[in-house]
Amino acid sequence: MTKFSGIVFGTCLLAFLPTAAVAENPTTLSWCKAATVTGTLKKGTTQHPNGSKLVFHYIALKQPITIAAGECEGANLDRTTTKEVQVKEDPKLIGKLVEKTVTVSGELTSPENAYDVLSVILYPPITIKAE
């Protein structure tokens, strides 16, 4: 009887785990919600609208993710599919992880200012784990 109870409890517990904890990169996510993605941390450069050089970091994913259309902080955002997610974190903290496989958790948002280069941004608070 105890063995059967343990099996039932384990099955129920798994049913309540968040999707991000079960799949490496879930294929469909939501705007303004917590997300976890795994990929290679990259460093990019572009030009800021004021003419200065802008350095940013992003995760290059093996498989694309899709963020479903939805509302985020009062804005209606379109469905977006991408293989690159910008990470908004201090470059001094994550610079040493460039070209390493990392798992990053944060809140998915769309670009909000000139420092947001890619179409999908992971905003703080962020958790980064190098593998």
> Per-residue pLDDT tens for 59-76?
999 999 999 999 888 788
What is the structure's pLDDT at 26?
A: 60
What domain range includes position 125? 23-130
Q: Tell whether 68 is covered by a domain.
A: yes
Q: Tell whether 14 is covered by a domain.
A: no
What is the structure's pLDDT at 11?
A: 31
Domain harbouring 97, CATH code:
2.40.50
The stretch 102-110 carries a mean pLDDT of 92
The more confidently predicted of residues 74 and 11 is 74
Report the DSSP beta bridge partners of residue 91. none
Q: Tell whether 66 is covered by a domain.
A: yes
Q: Residue 17: pLDDT band by 50, 70, 90 thresholds?
A: very low
Listing DSSP states for 33-91 in one string gives SEEEEEEEEEEEEEE-TTS-EEEEEEEEEEEEEEEESEEETTEEE--EEEEEEEE-S-H
CA distances for 23 relative to 36, 79, 116, 121, angstroms: 9, 20, 27, 20
What is the structure's pLDDT at 6?
A: 37
Beta-carbon contacts of 37 under 8 Å, excluding residues fewer than 6 positions away, are 25, 59, 61, 65, 85, 103, 104, 122
What is the structure's pLDDT at 27?
A: 65
The stretch 39-67 carries a mean pLDDT of 94
Q: Tell whether 11 is covered by a domain.
A: no
Q: Tell whether 38 is covered by a domain.
A: yes
Among 9-13, 23-27, 43-47, whose mean pLDDT is lowest? 9-13
121: helix, strand or coil: strand
What is the structure's pLDDT at 93?
A: 85
121 has a pLDDT exceeding 50: yes
Q: Work out the percent of the chain whose per-residue pLDDT is above 70.
A: 79
Q: Tell whether 98 is covered by a domain.
A: yes
Q: Tell whether 103 is covered by a domain.
A: yes
For the chain, how many structural domains are there in total? 1
The stretch 3-17 carries a mean pLDDT of 34
